[in-house]
Chains A and B, each alone.
Chain A
Amino acid sequence: MVAIVRFPGSLDHASAARAVAEAGGTVAWAWHRDRELPAGTASVLLPGGFSYGDHLRCGAIASRAPVMDAVRAHAEAGGLVLGVCNGFQILCEAGLLPGVLRANRTLSFVCRQVELEVEDAATPWTAGRPAGARLSVPIKHHDGAWFGDPAEGRVVLRYAGDNPNGSQEAVAGIANRAGNVLGLMPHPEEACDPLLGSVDGRVLIAPLAGAA
């Protein structure tokens, strides 16, 4: 069962749930005030949005919400955790992933399809796709420039071609050292239906849905 965590200001939970269901997974909802994840949770997804209105710093207030203690315990026990966009920002602010997301270099909101290149293919997230494989997935964010020390984690995805937001070393998605926690700014849940032009996002949603 995939627990999708909602915070006040989460936006992309519905498309995330649709993508998980399409991948054969079952969705359970968690709320920011919950102290435990739903019974039977095998993996966790923190969806995109603007939790708490991005006040103070994006993801900062959500990262201190009660449910995050349960997410941390799940991650420390080796469970899969995927953070998309605001979910990525929350995981960084929570210290579950290295670095932090800053405003795009241009200070513009960027909304477009991007090409990603798989770098570290040895995490659970890109199984079946070798290093160098390309994925076409959309981005939509204002604060997507990752800043930190890549050596503190594992760079799973980089932007191929031009760097859309000024992210350090073109990091698009980074995992913790163990590899079970992944955060990325692109939206795989918006690239699971042929109607949307690409189904490459299924690669990143399938591990969540397939978790025992």
Chain B
Amino acid sequence: MTRVIVTVMPKAGVLDPQGQAVRGALAGLGFEGVGDVRVGKRIELLLDGDDAVGRARAMCDRLLVNRLIEDFEVDVEG
């Protein structure tokens, strides 16, 4: 089994209201020097068989990622 990590992030240049809200909350708590915050998600896939990365990329194309607003990276753990 291969553990594949898919990291999905809001595309550069696309407004990230969640990141902005977190940034505001951090400032409210007194944390200084926070230039920008972006919030994404991590998807862990435990895959059986060959070409785990290729299949994970196909899953990103078909379902896991909306390329209009999101970018992604695929990494193998271990």
Q: Interface of A with B (CB < 8 Å)? A: 56-57, 60-61, 64, 93, 99-100, 102-107, 147-148, 166
Contacts and interface: CB of A to CB of B under 8 A. Distances in A.
A43 B17 CA distance: 36
For the complex of A and B, 5 pairs with smallest distance between CB atoms? A100-B68, A107-B17, A103-B17, A100-B66, A107-B21
Contact of A106 (B17, B63, B68): B17
Contact of B64 (A56, A93, A105, A106): A56
B67 to A, nearest CB: 10
A106 to B, nearest CB: 7
B7 to A, nearest CB: 15
A77 to B, nearest CB: 24
Interface of A is mostly: loop
Interface of B is mostly: helix
A64 B62 contact: yes
A56 B72 CA distance: 14
18 contacts: A56-B64, A60-B63, A61-B63, A64-B62, A64-B63, A99-B68, A100-B68, A102-B69, A103-B17, A105-B15, A105-B17, A106-B17, A107-B21, A147-B14, A147-B68, A147-B69, A148-B68, A166-B17
Contacts of B66: 57, 60, 93, 100
A104 B63 contact: no
A99 B69 CA distance: 9
A93 B69 CA distance: 12
Contacts of A106: 17
B62 A107 contact: no
Given A102-B69, A147-B68, A56 B63 contact: yes
Given A56-B64, A100-B66, A166-B17, 15 more contacts: A56-B63, A60-B63, A60-B66, A64-B62, A64-B63, A99-B68, A102-B17, A102-B69, A103-B17, A105-B17, A106-B17, A147-B68, A147-B69, A148-B68, A166-B15
A100 B18 contact: no
B18 to A, nearest CB: 7
Contacts of B21: 107
Interface string B39-78: 0000000000000000000000011101011000000000
Contacts of A64: 62-63
Contacts of B18: 103, 107
